[in-house]
């Protein structure tokens, strides 16, 4: 669990601290655990791999131009993918950079949202003024397509289901077909047109269950939408 002064592991039954990795500036990342190793990012710009049981360092990767990364890494094909000084892939065993995506560099994106990996494709969102939604092919690090989520910051992870990629930002909800030209139609919807964009913020990632898509907003409202058409189904207001 990321904290203000480092990264922690807690006992699941008692909630007691098992180990802590001190990090200057703390960590807003979640860990990806695979093969007994926990991988996570820090606000010092580094990607770390530690023994999941003891917290002992396996390796630490520091980019040439470190910047705080609030996203969480993902592991696939023996590579740890993370958004650091761009979208990079680090060998899970050695900690050496083995992959990078030029399409993701110089885009003005801030690395606040985490990625989703399905098959050989990475789906992720930026936090620039255009808030791009990107699909990157892992095999050749080339961009498959780019879509727009809206003109406001996005801090969550896209969901992939029903041959679509779903993302939520403060201007609304967007769905994009996984593959261009497959005949599916994407859609965009604003959950509440009576509320100004600047007041409509979310750190919630969308969740898809069958034909239902659910996400929350910072103002305490949970929305249910059709994951196929974008039609509003219901809203629920939490106790503030």
Q: How far apart are the C-alpha atoms of 169 and 150, rounded to whole Å?
A: 7
Q: How far apart are the C-alpha atoms of 40 and 1, rounded to whole Å?
A: 9
- Longest alpha-carbon distance in the chain: 52
Eight-class DSSP state of 15? -
Residues β-bridged to residue 184: none
Pair 157, 207: CB distance under 8 Å? no
Query: What's the confidence (pLDDT) of residue 62?
Result: 95
Distances 7 to 40, 58, 71, 100, 108 between C-alpha atoms, Å: 8, 15, 14, 26, 28
Query: What's the confidence (pLDDT) of residue 150?
Result: 62
Pair 221, 238: CB distance under 8 Å? yes
**Closest by CA position to 62, among listed 84, 40, 79:** 84
Taking only the tens of pLDDT, the chain with its 240 residues reads: 999 999 999 999 999 999 999 999 999 999 999 999 999 999 999 999 999 999 999 999 999 888 788 789 999 999 999 988 788 999 999 999 999 987 655 444 555 678 899 999 999 886 655 567 888 999 999 988 887 766 555 667 889 999 999 888 766 778 888 876 555 566 666 666 554 445 556 777 899 999 999 988 777 888 899 999 888 899 999 876
pTM of the model: 0.85
Strand order in the sheet with 132-137: 116-118, 121-125, 132-137, 143-148
Q: How far apart are the C-alpha atoms of 110 and 105, rounded to whole Å?
A: 11
Pair 225, 210: CB distance under 8 Å? no
Entry field: residues in the chain: 240
Per-residue pLDDT tens over the stretch 64-115 = 888 788 789 999 999 999 988 788 999 999 999 999 987 655 444 555 678 8
Residues β-bridged to residue 230: none
Pair 133, 176: CB distance under 8 Å? yes
Q: How many CB atoms lie within 10 A of CB 68?
A: 17
Distances 173 to 131, 146, 152, 200 between C-alpha atoms, Å: 12, 16, 12, 12
**Closest by CA position to 44, among listed 22, 14, 11:** 22
């Amino acid at each position: 669990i990321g904290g203000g002064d480092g990264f922690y592991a807690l006992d699941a039954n008692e909630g007691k601290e098992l180990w802590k990795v001190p990090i200057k500036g703390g960590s807003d990342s979640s860990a990806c655990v695979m093969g007994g190793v926990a991988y996570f990012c820090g606000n010092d710009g580094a990607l770390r791999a530690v023994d999941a049981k003891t917290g002992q360092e396996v390796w630490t990767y520091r980019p040439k131009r470190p910047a705080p990364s609030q996203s969480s890494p993902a592991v696939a094909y023996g590579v740890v993918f993370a958004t650091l000084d761009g979208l990079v892939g680090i060998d899970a065993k050695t900690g050496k950079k083995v992959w990078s995506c030029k399409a993701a560099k110089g885009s003005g994106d801030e690395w606040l949202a985490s990625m989703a990996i399905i098959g050989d494709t990475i789906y992720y969102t930026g936090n620039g003024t255009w808030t791009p939604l990107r699909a990157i092919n892992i095999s050749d690090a080339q961009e498959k397509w780019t879509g727009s989520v809206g003109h406001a910051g996005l801090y969550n992870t896209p969901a992939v289901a029903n041959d679509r990629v779903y993302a939520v930002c403060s201007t609304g909800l967007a769905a994009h077909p996984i593959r261009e030209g497959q005949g599916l139609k994407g859609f965009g919807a604003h959950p509440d047109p009576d509320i100004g964009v600047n007041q409509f913020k979310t750190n919630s990632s969308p969740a898809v269950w069958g034909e239902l898509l659910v996400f929350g907003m910072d103002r305490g409202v949970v929305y249910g939408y059709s994951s196929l058409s974008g039609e509003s189904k219901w809203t629920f207001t939490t106790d503030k």
